[in-house]
A and B are shown apart, each in its own frame.
Chain A
Amino acid sequence: MGTAPEIANQRIVEALVSKLRRRQVVGSRQTAIETVLVLRQVISKARFSNIEHLIQIIKAVGRRLVQAQPKEHTVGNTVRKVLHHVREEYHAVSRAGPSSAQPPKSSFSISKFVSQGQPRKQNLTLPKSEARSTSLRENDPDDPDSFAKGLKPVLMEAIQDVLDELETVYDNVSKSARDHIHSDEIVLTIGHSKTVESFLKSASHYRNYTVIVAESAPSFGGHKMARSLSTAGISTFLVPDSSIYALMSRVNKCILGAHAILANGGMFAVTGSLLAVSAAQAHSTPVVVCAGQFKLTPLWNLYHEYGALDFADPSSVLGFEEGSLVDKVDVVNPYFDYVGPELINVYITNDGDHPPSSVYRLIKESYDDEDHEL
């Protein structure tokens, strides 16, 4: 359309798109935070006269971002979460008023529970919107901006909520660390996950235990993890991936991080996780996954696609220093593993602990059905 706010929007979005495409944004949480900031700017500058228009704008931005980096699922998740909050706030405000039909508390049928998300959450947002119970007029021909002006402050608050949740992810996940790790336990972890790192460090304030870190070739994230854990005073062993099965008979639990949690309860995690989890199952060792709720993805069919594994640079596996071997040999270097839900025992998220079988419910609560396809 060419109006100034639209051009400004495009510039912000394009900046993030190119960062995503070049993989300059590293880490799911960082990506999520940047996405939220971009969406906040887009919404604050957007001009819309009814809710559908706003949702279309957000979805368009979301589609651009997801196309830039489809393997980075937190982008899509954050967009969906913002959309969910937008719809909630809108419903709350438009229902605000003495004659508001509150969801009848008396009839708790399962279908209502599942289709409306948790009633508890809606009640929370209600008081905020009731405070400013102006009646929103959609599509007002005299004052096209009144709807937007009325809704925007509420939306900004909702987005701030999302941002706050993202920024306190590590603290909230680590809250229950003390109950999960006991004295003199031996814990196995793979590669480098900031969530797991903060989980283990917070547990170390209360317990003395040992961590075995598998180095996860070829990214060798385990080296960073081992260094940071041992600096924090936790006694750490750094081992190559080949010894995971050998050491598993002494390991008390397996604590891993996730890249994305799929709707069926499975997850994408750094390569090597499938080996560790399978070995843990062979030894009946519990598997605990620490992840923020922003990693919950409503998509679940991804693991059938071989490409979902996001392949990385083959020269880390077989470099050019190997000479003539390089063009005779195929080298495979996937970055992620798909781990099925039957192999995981519990997900520790910033919103509590959940078994993989109830992940679908968390997704119903956090996102709206119509947003699954952006």
Chain B
Amino acid sequence: MPSAVVPLPEAAGQSSAPPGTLPAKSQKQMTKAERREMQERQRAAKAEKATQNQSKNSPKSSNKPAQTSKEGALAPRRASKAADLAPKGFQGAGGQSKDVKASGEDKSAHTRGLRIFSHFGLPKPTAHKGEVHPTIVRLGLQFSEFKITGANARCIATLTAFKTVIQDYVTPPNNTLSRHLMTYLSPQISYLVSARPMSVTMGNAIRQLKLDISGTDIDLPEQDAKDALCDKIDTYIRDRIIAADQVIEETAGNKIKDGDAILTYARSSVVEKVLLAAYADGKQFTVTVVDSRPMLEGKKLLEVLSFAGIQCTYLLLPAVGSVITEISMVLVGAHSLHSNGAVFSRAGTALVAMMAKQHLVPVVVCCETYKFSETVQLDSFTRNELAPVELFNSFPQNKQQDLSSLSDQPNLQILNPLYDLTPPSSITAVVTEVGVIPPSSISSIPLALGRTML
């Protein structure tokens, strides 16, 4: 590809001495942003060179994963750090892709489209840095194989694994538990993140855990400190998840009347509990479960509900338009809530909520307060996750599709975004353990909990 080779010296030239504006500054004199830009350009140039060598033999589709995994590697690591670094990280990736775009305009006129999804990032193969506890290794494997899915399930699994890690931890001499334990936990956390990008619930729980660790009394004997931490973890799970779910069951259950037709999407652990509790209370209602690829989680919910005796209807997402007129309420779960009132949830929820709103059906989101995230998300592109294609090959027996031959096609890329953002305009109310609130008041949840930080 001769056209891409020519601009490389240009890019290198740009980074060393842009004429006129910056006479040769040393690294120390450049501001942090300029340094970062230079780094990005050099990295882009190196990536270009690397992909040039690869693209001669391998088709573009294998080229894309190499490039997207590199950029994807940037995304999860940056996402796991504090929120203020996240915008810069995204800018960095954006700047890099812009540079590469400028340098390979004609070659990549049609691959530019493929790059706008590059920041989603597929999980890259795990790299062991430092010691990783075997429980964490097992957990990471379960995450990457999607054996444990769902925000609540992942958070509980993570905290339980951390309890084991803390119990096995031994403070090295000349160190205090409150300071060293955090550095000990960091590689464990990054291992989990590399297996699968961290959920907001995991992030909030770990932040609370770090707060508890740093607040440990230095004079406490080690075993007592560890027991206290495990207690705090148990309390967190009990208060913020289990007890919250019970309050939500009751509150949302009050919204369900006899003769209702409830629609739910995919599988939310909270909604499942709400429906089972309402049915056990003796309410008569029917449930329509809407499901969709790639994960087809609704089938499990369908099994649970029908074995409990609830009359269910099952359909796939495209058919929602035809049944929505018969529905009296839509109940969905959430992955996280954001300050602007948007709900980040399983891909497809936004479509269901939008259709329901158009037909004047109330959309109720059941969500615990610990899922609240301070960040503001504007659309589903800011933060999302792609599911690996090989894991989700579930097609009904009479319609087997051959995804493997499709993924080998040049010019074709299969994307499975796992999440999407439902705008606040599509939501009627959010049921949390502090009450039923409209989406515009979501930013006051921390206030309602009586603290300034979750």
A interface residue numbers (CB < 8 A to B): 183-184, 186, 208-210, 215-220, 223, 226-227, 229-231, 233-247, 249-250, 271-272, 274-275, 278-279, 282, 306, 309, 313, 315-322, 325, 328-334, 337-338
Contact yes or no, B316 A238, CB < 8 A: no
Docked Cα-Cα span, A318 to B355, in Å, equals 23
CA distance A233 to B398 in the complex (A): 30
Q: Is the CB of A240 within 8 A of B293?
A: yes
Nearest opposing residue in chain A for B310, CB measure: A328
In angstroms, how far is the closest chain A Cβ from the Cβ of B68?
Answer: 13
**Interface: B444 (CB within 8 A):** no
The answer to whether A236 and B420 touch across the interface, beta carbons within 8 angstroms, is: no
Q: B204 interface residue, CB < 8 Å from A?
A: no
A226–B402 Cα distance when bound, in Å, is 13
Task: Quote the shortest CB–CB distance from A25 to chain B (angstroms).
Answer: 21
Stretch at the interface among B71-79, B223-231, B246-254, B317-325: B317-325
Is B30 interfacial (CB 8 A cutoff)?
A: no
Among B9-17, B111-119, B135-143, B185-193, the one that faces the other chain is B111-119
The answer to whether B321 and A337 have CB atoms under 8 Å apart is: yes
Task: Contact check, A230 vs B401: say whether CB atoms are below 8 A apart.
Answer: no
Stretch at the interface among B34-42, B175-183, B237-245, B377-385: B377-385
Whether A242 touches B347, Cβ cut-off 8 Å, given contacts A208-B109, A215-B293, A315-B398, is yes
Whether B414 lies near A238 (C-beta < 8 A) is yes
Q: Which residue from chain B places its CB closest to the CB of A313 in the assembled complex?
A: B398
> Is there a chain A Cβ closer than 8 Å to B104's Cβ?
no
Stretch at the interface among B212-220, B299-307, B327-335: B299-307
Q: Are A317 and B314 touching (Cβ within 8 A)?
A: yes
Residues of chain B lying within 8 A (CB to CB) of residue A183: 109
List 6 other contacts, CB 8 Å, given A218-B316, A245-B348, A316-B399: A186-B116, A231-B411, A241-B348, A246-B384, A249-B379, A329-B306
13 contacts between A and B (CB under 8 A): A208-B109, A209-B110, A218-B396, A220-B399, A223-B401, A235-B110, A235-B413, A238-B413, A275-B355, A316-B399, A320-B397, A330-B313, A331-B315
A319 CB contacts on chain B under 8 angstroms:
396-398
CA distance A319 to B400 in the complex (A): 12
Q: Is there contact, CB below 8 Å, between A236 and B417?
A: no
* Interface residue B419 (Cβ < 8 Å from any Cβ of A): yes
Contact residues in B for A278 (Cβ distance below 8 Å): 321, 351, 354-355, 358
Tell me, in angstroms, the Cα distance from A305 to B379 when the chains sit together.
Answer: 36
B390 shortest CB reach to chain A, Å: 14
Q: Which residues of B contact A321 (CB under 8 A)?
A: 396-397
Q: Kindly list chain A residues whose C-beta atoms are within 8 Å of the C-beta of B318.
A: 216-217, 241, 271-272, 275, 337
Chain B's nearest CB lies how many Å from the CB of A340? 11
Q: Most chain-B CB neighbours within 10 Å: which of A209, A218, A242?
A: A242
Whole-angstrom CA separation of A105 from B312 in the bound complex: 65
Pairwise interchain contact A328-B354, C-beta atoms closer than 8 A: no
CB pair B420–A245 under 8 Å, yes or no, is yes
* B354→A282 contact, CB < 8 A: yes
User: Which B residues from 391 to 411 make CB contacts under 8 A with A?
Assistant: 395-399, 401, 406, 409-411
Q: Once bound together, how far apart are the Cα atoms of A235 and B113, in whole Å?
A: 8
Q: Is B421 an interface residue (CB 8 A)?
A: yes
Question: Given the complex of chains A and B, what is the CA–CA distance between A62 and B84 in angstroms?
Answer: 69
Known: A244-B351, A333-B315. A250 touches B420 (CB 8 A): no
Residue from A208, A217, A231, A246 in contact with B317 in the complex, judged by beta carbons closer than 8 Å: A217
- CA A274 – CA B317 in complex, angstroms? 11
How many A-B contacts if CB must be within 8 Å?
203
Interface size grouping (class) on chain B: 35 or more
Question: In the complex, what residues of A have CB within 8 A of residue B116's CB?
Answer: 186, 250
A246 with B380: CB separation less than 8 A: yes
Q: Is the CB of B399 within 8 A of A218?
A: yes
Given contacts A210-B110, A235-B411, A249-B380, A240 and B416 within 8 Å (CB-CB):
yes
A185's closest neighbor in chain B, by CB? Answer: B113
B80 to chain A, nearest CB (A): 22
Whether B350 sits at the interface, judged by CB under 8 Å, is yes
Say whether A334 contacts B412, CB under 8 Å: no
A334 touches B322 (CB 8 A): yes
Task: List chain B residues, Cβ under 8 A from A274.
Answer: 321, 355
Q: Are B399 and A234 interface neighbours, CB within 8 A?
A: no
Interface residues of B in 88-138 (CB under 8 A from A): 109-114, 116-117
Verify if B415 is at the interface (C-beta below 8 Å from A).
Answer: yes
- Which listed residue, A231, A239, A317, A333, touches B417 by the CB 8 Å rule? A239
| A305 vs B196: C-alpha distance when bound (angstroms) | 46
* A275 B320 Cβ-Cβ under 8 A: yes
In the complex the two chains form, what is the Cα distance from A237 to B110 in whole Å? Answer: 12
B406: chain A residues within 8 A (beta carbon): 223, 226-227, 238
B346 within 8 A of A: yes
Are B419 and A246 in contact, CB atoms less than 8 angstroms apart? yes
B403 CB to closest chain A CB, in angstroms?
A: 8
Q: Does B294 contact A (CB under 8 A)?
A: yes
Q: How far is the CA of A226 from the CA of B109 in the complex (A)?
A: 19
Query: CA separation between A330 and B299, bound complex, in Å?
Result: 13
Q: Which residues of B sit under 8 angstroms from A239, Cβ to Cβ?
A: 414-417
Q: Let me know if B292 is at the binding interface, CB within 8 A.
A: yes
Given contacts A233-B411, A329-B314, contact A184 B112 (CB under 8 A): yes
- A330 is contacted by which of B314, B384, B411, B413 (Cβ under 8 Å)? B314
In the complex, which residue of chain B has the Cβ closest to the Cβ of A226? B412
Whether A210 pairs with B292 at a CB distance below 8 angstroms is no
Considering the chains assembled together, what is the distance between the CA atoms of A245 and B293 in angstroms? 14
Check A332–B323 contact: CB distance below 8 A.
yes
| Chain A nearest CB, measured from B445 CB (Å) | 25
Q: Which residues of A contact B379 (CB under 8 A)?
A: 246, 249
A234 to B413, CA, bound (A): 11
A315:B412 contact, CB within 8 angstroms: no
Check A329–B313 contact: CB distance below 8 A: yes
